[in-house]
Amino acid sequence: MSVIDNKLADPAVAAPDASWLSSASVALPSFITVSGLALGGGSEPLEFTLYHKQADGRVTPLCRAGSALTETDRNRFMPAGDRPGEVIYVAAGEYDVYHRRVEAGLGRLVSEEAAGASRFQAAYQICVQLVDEVLNHGKDELAQRVQSAVDQLAAEARRQPQIIAGLLAQRSWVYETASHMVNVALLALAAANDAGLPANDWPSLVAGAMLHDIGKIGLPEGLTGKEGRLTQGEWMLIREHPARGAEWLRQFSCLNPLLADLAMQHHEFADGSGYPQGLAGGSIHPWARLYSTLDAFDSLTAARPFREGLPVQDALTILQSESPRRFDPASVATLARLIASGAVAAPASQLHAGGAVMVAATARKLLPLESFLPLPPAPPVESPLDASAPQQRRRNRRSYVRHPFKTTCRVRYVRSGAAPDAHISFWVQTLDISRSGMQFMFTRPMRLGEVISVFLPTGQTGRHVTAMVVRCYRGPSNVFFIGARFDFDK
275, 296 Cβ separation under 8 angstroms: no
Query: How far is Cα 438 from Cα 433, in angstroms, rounded to an integer?
Result: 4
Is the backbone peptide bond immediately before 11 cis, with ω within 30 degrees of 0? no
Please give the backbone phi and psi of residue 215, each rounded to the nearest 5 degrees, phi first. -65, -10
How far from 209 is each of 219, 265, 428, CA to CA, in Å?
Answer: 19, 12, 35
Query: How far is Cα 251 from Cα 137, in angstroms, rounded to an integer?
Result: 13
70 has a pLDDT exceeding 80? no
Would you state the pLDDT for residue 112?
79
Comparing CA positions, the residue from 187, 175, 252, 254 lying closest to residue 214 is 252
202 has a pLDDT exceeding 90? yes
Distance of CA 248 to the CA centre of its chain: 14
Please give the backbone phi and psi of residue 124, each rounded to the nearest 5 degrees, phi first. -65, -45
Angle at which helix 232-250 crosses helix 258-265, to 10 degrees, equals 170
Please give the backbone phi and psi of residue 182, each rounded to the nearest 5 degrees, phi first. -70, -40
Would you state the pLDDT for residue 228?
64
Contacts for 251 with CB less than 8 Å, ≥ 6 apart: 140, 474
153, 300 Cβ separation under 8 angstroms: no
- CA atoms within 13 Å, Cβ hemisphere of 442: 21
Would you state the pLDDT for residue 135?
86
pLDDT band at 346 (very low <50, low <70, confident <90, very high): low
Which residues belong to CATH 2.40.10.220 in the chain?
403-485
81, 118 Cβ separation under 8 angstroms: no
Query: How far is Cα 129 from Cα 142, in angstroms, rounded to an integer?
Result: 11
Comparing CA positions, the residue from 78, 124, 72, 130 lying closest to residue 100 is 130
How do residues 401-446 score in pLDDT, each as one tens digit? 778 888 878 888 776 544 444 445 678 888 888 888 889 988 788 8
Looking at this protein, which amino acid is placed at residue 210?
A: M
Query: How far is Cα 407 from Cα 486, in angstroms, rounded to an integer?
Result: 18
How would you label 207-218 residue by residue, b for 16+ Cβ within 10 Å and e otherwise? bbbbbbbbbbbb
How far from 138 is each of 133, 246, 472, CA to CA, in Å?
Answer: 8, 12, 12
Could you please report the per-residue DSSP string of 128-158?
Answer: HHHHHHHHHH--HHHHHHHHHHHHHHHHHHH
Please give the backbone phi and psi of residue 244, each rounded to the nearest 5 degrees, phi first. -65, -40
Domain made up of 105-371: CATH architecture: Orthogonal Bundle (1.10)
Please give the backbone phi and psi of residue 59, each rounded to the nearest 5 degrees, phi first. -105, 115
Would you state the pLDDT for residue 109?
84
Which residues belong to CATH 1.10.3210.10 in the chain?
105-371
Q: What percent of the chain has pLDDT over 90?
A: 18
Comparing CA positions, the residue from 319, 372, 307 lying closest to residue 344 is 319
Segment 341-352 shows an average pLDDT of 61
Class of domain 403-485: mainly beta
Helix locations, 304-373, DSSP H: 312-321, 329-341, 361-364
Residue 246 burial by CB count (10 A; 0-12/13-18/19+): exposed, middle or buried?
buried
Q: Could you tell me the pTM of the whole model?
A: 0.67
Looking at this protein, which amino acid is placed at residue 25?
A: S
364 has a pLDDT exceeding 60? no
For the chain, what is the mean pLDDT? 76
Comparing CA positions, the residue from 298, 299, 273 lying closest to residue 284 is 273
Query: How far is Cα 396 from Cα 386, in angstroms, rounded to an integer?
Result: 9
Query: How far is Cα 106 from Cα 159, in angstroms, rounded to an integer?
Result: 14
- The DSSP bridge partners found for residue 430 are 440
pLDDT band at 287 (very low <50, low <70, confident <90, very high): very high
Q: Are strands 437-442 and 408-413 parallel, antiparallel or unpaired?
A: unpaired
Would you state the pLDDT for residue 389?
45
65 has a pLDDT exceeding 80? yes
Comparing CA positions, the residue from 297, 439, 486 lying closest to residue 373 is 297
